[in-house]
Amino acid sequence: MSFQYIIQQILNALAWGSMLGLMAVGYTLLYGVLGLVNFAQGEVFMVGAFAAYFVIALAKGPFWLAVLAAVGGAVVAGVLLERVAFRPVRKAGGITLFITSLAVSIAIKNIYIMGLTNKIRPFNSPAFLRTVHHWKGLLIYNSTLAILAVTVAVTIALLLFVNRTKTGIAMRAVAYDRETAELMGVNTNRIIVVAFVIASSLAALAGVAWGVRFGSVQPTMGFTPVVSAFIAAVLGGIGNILGAVVGGFIIGVGEILFVGFLPPELIGLRPVFVWAVLFVLLLFKPSGLFPANVKPS
Amino acid sequence: MSDNMAIRLQDVHAGYGKMEVLFGITLHVASGEIVALVGPNGTGKTTTLRTIVGQVRARSGSLEYMGEDVSHKPPYVLTRRGIATSPEGRAILGNLTVLENLRLGAYTIRDPAQFRRGLERVYALFPRLQEREHQSGGSLSGGEQQMLAVGRALMSRPKLLLLDEPSLGIAPNLARTIFATFEEIRREGSSILIVEQNVYLSLRASDRSYVMERGKIVLEGESRGLLQNPHVKAAYLGVA
The reply to whether A63 falls in a domain is yes
Q: Tell me the mean pLDDT in the region B61-76.
A: 92
Asked if A186 and B87 come within 8 Å (Cβ–Cβ), the reply is no
Q: What is the ipTM of this complex?
A: 0.90
Domains and CATH numbers, chain B: 1-82+159-165+190-240 (3.40.50.300)
Would you say residue A289 lies in a domain?
Answer: no
For residue B2, pLDDT over 50 is answered with: no
For residue A161, the one-letter residue type is F
Region for residue A135 given its phi and psi (left: phi exceeds 0; alpha: psi -120 to 50; beta: otherwise): beta
What's the total number of domains in chain A? 1
Which residues on adjacent β-strands are paired with residue A138? A135
Amino acid at A56: I
Asked if A24 and A248 touch (Cβ cutoff 8 Å), the reply is: yes
CA distances in angstroms from B57 to A263, B6, B50, B70, listed in the order given: 65, 19, 9, 10
A79 burial level (CB within 10 Å; 0-12, 13-18, 19+)? middle
Q: What CA–CA distances, in Å, run from A84 to A26, A88, A104, A190?
A: 19, 7, 10, 15
Question: Which chain B positions have a beta carbon within 8 Å of A182's beta carbon?
Answer: 74-76, 79
For residues B208-237, give the mean pLDDT: 92
A190 touches chain B (CB under 8 A): no
> pTM above 0.80?
yes
Is A92 among the domain residues? Answer: yes
A63: Cα within 13 Å, side-chain hemisphere? 13
Contact criterion met (CB < 8 Å) for B79 and A172:
no
Specify which of A194-198, B67-71, B183-187 reaches the highest per-range mean pLDDT.
A194-198
Tell me the H-state helices in chain A.
3-34, 41-53, 63-81, 94-116, 127-130, 142-164, 166-176, 178-183, 188-214, 223-235, 241-261, 270-284
A95, A208, B97 from A230: Cα distances, Å: 16, 19, 28
Q: Residue B238: pLDDT above 90? A: no
Q: A185 and B79 in contact by Cβ < 8 A?
A: yes
Q: Please compute, for residue A247, the number of CA atoms within 13 A of its CA located in the half-sphere on the CB side.
A: 35
What are the tens digits of pLDDT across the range A172-195?
A: 999 999 999 999 999 999 999 999
A180 to chain B: closest CA residue: B91
Q: What is the C-alpha to C-alpha distance for residues A59 and A65, in angstroms, rounded to an integer? A: 10
The pLDDT of B21-33, averaged and rounded, is 94
| Residues A182, B96: C-beta atoms closer than 8 Å | no
Residue A215 lies in a domain: yes
**Residue A271's domain spans which residues?**
3-284
| A170: nearest CB among B79, B104, B152 | B104
A173–B104 CB contact, under 8 Å: yes
φ, ψ of residue B62 in degrees (nearest 5): -120, 150
The CATH number of whichever domain residue A24 belongs to comes to 1.10.3470
| Closest Cα in chain B to A182 | B76
CA distance B48 to B20: 12
Reported confidence tier of residue B1, pLDDT bands at 50, 70, 90: very low
**B81 in contact with chain A, both atoms CB, cutoff 8 A:** no
B95 vs A188: CB contact, 8 Å cut-off? no
